[in-house]
Amino acid sequence: MTNSVDADVIVVGLGAMGSQALWQLARRGVGAIGIEQFTPGHDRGASHGESRIIRTAYAEGTAYVPLVKRAWKLWQELEQTSGRSLLDRTGGLMIGPADSSVIAGPLASAKAHDLKYDLLSADDLRRDFPQYLVTDDLRGFYEEEAGVLRPELAVTAAVDAAVASGAEVFDGTAVREIVPDPSRPRVVVDDHELTARHVVVAAGGWLRQLLPSTAGLITVERRVMGWFRAQDPAAFAPARFPVFVRCDSSGDHNCYGFPSTDGATVKVGLHTWPGIYEPTDPAAGHRPPDQQDAERFADAIRGTLLDVDPYPVRMTSCMYSLTPDHHFLLGPRRELPGLTLLGGFSGHGFKFATVIGEIAADFACDGSTRLPVAQFDPHRFA
């Protein structure tokens, strides 16, 4: 019997979060192995579709602001390390009634953290952003510190940077089981076992299948993104059309979108919308988009954007891993010694991936982190 291990840390799942955890571990000189069932940058999880929004005055809670600030810095470091352009700062526009989460939320974060912003009246919106259909009850919250991340490229850049710093990657390799242990957790792949001093589990929608004790913490739902032809694409170029989120007072209708990156189309997604909440089994794969998805989009586009064809030229399905309070799960759980969980990103995790990677490396190496993660304690629902 030997105490040797195959790696100091094994990272299970190399999507948005696992790829960044692997990079952060490797750049610290930790012997790390990353295991991915598909190929990094694939389109079967939650980290595809060409674009993700990053914003700073955080609508979902003021406590996220220090994390997103740190994430920006690490995105820039990854751009420098990889030599790839991963992030465009386009500014961000939140549109909704004054009491909606997309106006009241960012305003609270901006005030708590002394962030710069502009509040816009309905007339300001019509004058500065004529691409939108604006009713008199709407207000705008604009911040410069927002933009577009390129998800597939970000995942592969982090994996490549990790490998360049000494990490090993096994792709096309499905983990069948993770056996917790305080000092020597084990990861079962194919016909053999790997041991480590610590295991980071970043399996996205597959988390509850790999670790059944987390099943009650996460529900997995399908979401669809669509691309829409703009009649005057120049009006939707990044310099004139910031990333946006638009929501009503109830929160029942929340859509978001991106400037045109291909000179022809604008991408839009539905975060909340009647009829979209469809549980999905990641093992079975995303159900492909259909005519009902196109009709919902047409409804959203007609009520939001001017001079954009309401029916999509293409669509793709993706998945949200939702916790009961829509905040993340970060850290250890008592019944899973030797493991750090990164999960439940509830449809808004991508922008934080770099700092989540840093938090994972802290937990794996030191057992704790100095970054503010108390609200993400995986035990908070007990």
Instruction: Kindly write out the interface string for residues 322-361 of this chain, putting x where it contacts ligand FAD by CB under 6 A and - elsewhere.
Output: -----------------------x-xxxxx----------
Buried b (16+ CB within 10 A) or exposed e, 84-111: bebbbebbbbbbbbeebbbbbbbbebbe
CB closest to ligand FAD, residue no: 15
71 contributes a contact to ligand FAD by CB under 6 A: no
140 contributes a contact to ligand FAD by CB under 6 A: no
Choose between 140 and 282: whose C-beta lies nearer to ligand FAD: 282
Choose between 49 and 312: whose C-beta lies nearer to ligand FAD: 49
Task: Work out how close the CB of 325 gets to ligand FAD at its nearest, in angstroms, rounded to a whole number.
Answer: 15
Choose between 174 and 365: whose C-beta lies nearer to ligand FAD: 174
242 contributes a contact to ligand FAD by CB under 6 A: no
Buried b (16+ CB within 10 A) or exposed e, 41-57: bbebbbbbbbbbbbbbb
Q: Which of 26, 32, 159, 175 binds ligand FAD (CB under 6 A)?
A: 175
Task: Work out how close the CB of 236 gets to ligand FAD at its nearest, in angstroms, rounded to a whole number.
Answer: 17
Burial class (CB in 10 A: 0-12, 13-18, 19+), 167: buried
Choose between 142 and 352: whose C-beta lies nearer to ligand FAD: 352
Rounded Cα distance, 316 and 287, in Å: 9
143 contributes a contact to ligand FAD by CB under 6 A: no
The answer to whether residues 295 and 274 touch, using CB atoms and an 8 Å cutoff, is no
Rounded Cα distance, 197 and 183, in Å: 5
Rounded Cα distance, 19 and 14, in Å: 5
Choose between 38 and 311: whose C-beta lies nearer to ligand FAD: 38
Q: Hey, which residues does 94 pair with through a beta bridge?
A: 141, 245
Q: Which of 5, 9, 17, 255 binds ligand FAD (CB under 6 A)?
A: 17
Task: Work out how close the CB of 121 gets to ligand FAD at its nearest, in angstroms, rounded to a whole number.
Answer: 26
Q: Which of 235, 301, 319, 361 binds ligand FAD (CB under 6 A)?
A: 319
376 contributes a contact to ligand FAD by CB under 6 A: no
Rounded Cα distance, 120 and 197, in Å: 53
Q: What angle do CA 214, 218, 224 make, to 5 degrees?
A: 145
Size of interface with ligand FAD, in residues (CB under 6 A): 37
53 contributes a contact to ligand FAD by CB under 6 A: yes
Choose between 2 and 275: whose C-beta lies nearer to ligand FAD: 275
Choose between 126 and 271: whose C-beta lies nearer to ligand FAD: 271
Choose between 42 and 184: whose C-beta lies nearer to ligand FAD: 42
45 contributes a contact to ligand FAD by CB under 6 A: yes
18 contributes a contact to ligand FAD by CB under 6 A: yes
Choose between 126 and 173: whose C-beta lies nearer to ligand FAD: 173
Q: Which of 23, 24, 52, 102 binds ligand FAD (CB under 6 A)?
A: 52
Q: Hey, which residues does 266 pair with through a beta bridge?
A: 228
202 contributes a contact to ligand FAD by CB under 6 A: yes
Rounded Cα distance, 114 and 363, in Å: 30
Radius of gyration of the chain (CA): 21
Choose between 137 and 214: whose C-beta lies nearer to ligand FAD: 214
Binding site for ligand FAD (CB under 6 A): 12-18, 35-38, 45-47, 49, 52-53, 174-175, 202-206, 210, 223, 225, 269, 318-320, 345, 347-351
